[in-house]
Structure 1
């Protein structure tokens, strides 16, 4: 490897790693804010949170890689241009393609690796992430008592405490309403102080109360006229109450299988199966509707053997006369009633079959979208690099200022186009190929154009070039304005002299 290539490669790898982690951090913050309400207040261990964040970060790699490649390429080439290193390389006879040759090779390896990440790592991470999020949603909130407020996080129990010591966790002025009894009895417990906590395995509620009273209201089928109330006092009361839902359960990840949790081979198998299912469902919906309902008696449209043709005896008179105008009123009403009944039956039968076909069609669209997403990711990474490298060479600005702005603008443009195409593909308005590749089709000409401009040393985005042109334009406008002002002043002077001469003559 040449020394100049080592220099360029070293200048690129640092910004690439830095920008990748910056982008992943921003995306991770978006994920945290999205699920913050479900993570807070459930006493999750650090291991569960780290595991969830790890799977979420793996899921965001396909979104973060293109932006990181774009930003790193702009920063690298911008730094080289700002320090006149890029100019020195071009003066030595090296073209832009030759300068970026090692970077293209590195980005090519990254693009190939991104396919395996999207095909193998991301489906596994999605499956695990969906499983953990489901388990967190099923878990109840941890015991958190607030002074003077009822805690209703336990089924059929309501607990209020007057004050909780933050250090010893001693509860004072405890009031408990217990409706767990299957016979309908309700217990009310009032205690001066005590401790209420979950066991270490979170399967039991450990209640220890001091100096209190218990009121038990007995209810039966005749509670409205034979309701008894029992009361007793205690110095110490201990209860061990079985609890469900406070412990973190782990579901089987295979239960959460969908198009986002499958690799490209599994998606291709699903696509083939769903296409057969959709075609079969469509045929099963339309063929009986046409043969048995709409054209059941019309042999010219759908000829059928007598054994399969439905006999609609109610229409014999109509078929014989080809008109119902000559039939009696009662016969007309009977024929119209039969026609309405057949139409309603046809609509109901078609609506039932259509719902199953529509569900299979939606799954088919989503499977095709995920299939094309895995293929289009490596291409988008290459396109973003081919946009970023020429842009950096043109603007000749490094750091995290202007490159970040330009990168965000291009990425937002790419993201909006991708979301629009994906939405149209999910609705079936577009083919999945066009929906998932439209952003690449639009950005590829931009990459070619910028590469051409950078190769020819264009000042397309050079701020100094634009500042010089604006300054020259201002000077020209100033000269033109001065000349115009002098002409107007001269005309005004001549006009004043003429008016003076006229006044003197008169």
Structure 2
């Protein structure tokens, strides 16, 4: 029987509050990005608040499935980052609870979110997409609100270009009005100039009532002959002129049936039905086109009479010299033959281009429906994948708040978006198999989530910057420096009488080791890769040195403490073969560029080790002198 523990309730509560906040933040960000795409269809058209409310409501419904994965990623990162930063995660693990058990209640919760996301994708999304698409199309078709600017031509009135030098916003009067009426065509434009005027909307909002005062009208008159050099025009002066201009400013909702063929407005059952129908249609059209091509233009007897066809079928083309027949023809016959061949080739090319376009368009529609079918599943599963990425990352990073988690989540989401969008476009354009393109992002994220979950469960330092810094220092050869400080409480004082003899013995061992190994000379390239044992002598020297330093660090003498910091930190394995596995050393030696790199690296470390031996000997002498002063 499944028992809900208080710890599970605490974890779910901590995650749920953050998830609600991050979800609405992500939804707001995506809505702003979506609004920016359609800002031209919204601004300056006088849309009512009810229309704007519908636009934002339907756009929010369509963006819910996209916002859920990012919200899950960000909320899981912050939740487990807070647990790690407040040492709550450490306390849970110390109590014997593994990371997988800590994540278990949230995993069930996210599985529920996967179902919610799929419901929005398959049920709510298609309805919202159909209504949103119809609404956007209706907004695009709506005429803009009449707001004529000063000093520039205004072309939002159909068949009219209007320019005013100045306008009075209080009275609505327009001054120095210039109007181009191109209703009868550009060549027969009517030009009107008026000293002042006024534009008013009729009560039914279907027409503009134009009042002009003190102006002239210029109109071209059609010439009687096409060869006329001068085109007459008519000029009309007026004190007042009134005219009606068609201008539909009402918002008319388009029919929702226009969105019925869009793949985004269909659920999975409808998508599968449409795919099957388009496949049957494509097969039937393809067979019909094949018959037309096989029995039509490419038939040898195309365009000939029955008698000519029989003659051609019985004749052997090798018996005729086509070039000589063409050369013997008259100029008129040659021109007729060439024109006929060119016309036939153009007709065949046009016919094949049309057939190709029809088939490619049908295949494109099939692929788009298939990508939409897979997309409803992949986006839903991405919530679960992002959870198994965000939760382990939060446990590894152990940083809460909106700083590091936001940066990491944005980077992960950008990588996911690039991979997913690339796979979608490849699948849609037919360059990849549809299922492979649509599932590429999931195939990349799933191993990453498994890897991070495993590493976080094992308390790995996979994202610990200090571990990578230390590894880099080890590769380059940068070593740490001793930082020994005077202890406030000392339990056992150093045995200075014995330390003098131990230091002399250590110096003798360092001299013997340096003389035996000949560290400053270049090592033998071939023997270097054959060696399979560690350098036990330098290990013994290093252990003895560290033991002496540890004992002498209990001194009360500040001078001796300063001298201890002069001892080098010996790298006991940097001057020998690079790998512990024998065959890897042989492989590195055989691959000459790699072997040469390790060879010079080892040689450099041998020279440094020789200098360390000299430094230890010299420092031993200095410390012996300090001990003598302490004993006095």
Matched, 1:65 2:65: no
Q: 1 CA distance for matches of 2:243 and 2:321? A: 86
Q: 1 CA distance for matches of 2:116 and 2:164? A: 57
1:32-74 Cα distance to aligned partner (Å, 9 max, x none):
3222233222223333233222222222222222111111111
Counterpart for residue 382 of structure 2: 380
Counterpart for residue 500 of structure 1: none
Q: Residues 286 and 350 of structure 1 are in contact (CA less than 8 Å); yes or no, is this contact kept in structure 2?
A: no
1:331-480 to 2 correspondence within 5 Å? 349-463=351-465, 475-476=479-480, 479=569
Q: Which moved more, 1:30-39 or 1:1-10?
A: 30-39
Q: Residues 65 and 380 of structure 2 are in contact (CA less than 8 Å); yes or no, is this contact kept in structure 1?
A: no
Q: TM-score, normalised by structure 1?
A: 0.80
Counterpart for residue 25 of structure 1: 28
The answer for unaligned runs of 5 or more in structure 1 is 298-309, 492-506
Counterpart for residue 491 of structure 2: none
Of residues 608, 613, 623, the one that matches 1:484 is: 608
Counterpart for residue 215 of structure 1: 216
Q: 2 CA distance for matches of 1:341 and 1:175? A: 54
Counterpart for residue 148 of structure 2: 145
1:48-104 Cα distance to aligned partner (Å, 9 max, x none):
233222222222222222111111111111111111111111222222222122211
Structure with greater Cα Rg? 2
Counterpart for residue 271 of structure 1: 275
1:123-161 Cα distance to aligned partner (Å, 9 max, x none):
222222222222222233322233333433323444443
Counterpart for residue 127 of structure 1: 130
Counterpart for residue 329 of structure 1: 324
Q: TM-score, normalised by structure 2?
A: 0.65
Instruction: Indicate the SS of the match to 1:190.
Output: strand
Of residues 9, 20, 45, the one that matches 1:6 is: 9
1:261-340 to 2 correspondence within 5 Å? 261-290=265-294, 313-318=311-316, 323-324=318-319, 329-330=324-325
Q: 2 CA distance for matches of 1:277 and 1:358? A: 13
Q: Residues 282 and 354 of structure 1 are in contact (CA less than 8 Å); yes or no, is this contact kept in structure 2?
A: no
Instruction: Indicate the SS of the match to 1:330.
Output: helix
Q: 2 CA distance for matches of 1:365 and 1:111? A: 25
Q: 2 CA distance for matches of 1:240 and 1:227? A: 21
Closer/same/farther in 2, CA of residues 344 and 466 from structure 1, 3 Å limit: closer
Counterpart for residue 231 of structure 1: 237
Matched pairs, number: 469
Q: Residues 180 and 191 of structure 2 are in contact (CA less than 8 Å); yes or no, is this contact kept in structure 1?
A: yes
Q: 2 CA distance for matches of 1:430 and 1:263? A: 24
Q: Residues 52 and 129 of structure 1 are in contact (CA less than 8 Å); yes or no, is this contact kept in structure 2?
A: yes
Q: Residues 290 and 296 of structure 1 are in contact (CA less than 8 Å); yes or no, is this contact kept in structure 2?
A: no
Instruction: Indicate the SS of the match to 2:316.
Output: helix
Q: Which moved more, 1:248-257 or 1:368-377?
A: 248-257
Q: What is the CA-CA distance between 1:356 and the residue it aligns to? A: 1.5
Q: 2 CA distance for matches of 1:365 and 1:483? A: 66
Q: What is the CA-CA distance between 1:199 and the residue it aligns to? A: 4.4
Q: Superposition RMSD on alpha carbons, in Å?
A: 3.9
1:88-107 to 2 correspondence within 5 Å? 88-107=91-110
Q: Residues 191 and 213 of structure 1 are in contact (CA less than 8 Å); yes or no, is this contact kept in structure 2?
A: yes
Counterpart for residue 49 of structure 1: 52
Instruction: Indicate the SS of the match to 2:38.
Output: helix
Q: Residues 162 and 171 of structure 1 are in contact (CA less than 8 Å); yes or no, is this contact kept in structure 2?
A: no
Q: Residues 129 and 265 of structure 2 are in contact (CA less than 8 Å); yes or no, is this contact kept in structure 1?
A: yes
